[in-house]
Amino acid sequence: TYGWTRFVYDDNTRELQFTHHRIDGTIGDSFTLQESFISAESEESNALGIIGIDSIFAIIAILSAALRKQ
């Protein structure tokens, strides 16, 4: 629909917010882009204390399931 889009950049949090305002006064789409994701989990939550090991376990599980299905 017709309207205008507002872009707001916050230098402190390094976020860019997009908000589309329609001509009837309602807000359409709204979303935020962040420069980097801040994880709420601590680094100690990684399996075996190795960063990225959780991703490796997930890939191994997916490959194992695919090979087993064949």
Among 37, 19, 16, smallest CA distance to 29 is for 19
Domain limits, the chain: 1-36
pLDDT of residue 54: 74
Which amino acid type is present at position 70?
A: Q
Strand partners, 21: 4, 27
* 70 residues of the chain, pLDDT tens digit each: 588 989 999 888 888 999 999 889 888 888 888 877 656 555 555 555 566 677 788 888 888 888 876 5
List phi, psi (to 5°) of 67: -70, -35
pLDDT of residue 11: 87
How far is it, in rounded angstroms, from Cα 29 to Cα 25? 13
pLDDT of residue 8: 92
The pTM assigned to this predicted structure is: 0.44
Q: Provide the 8-state DSSP code for 61.
A: H
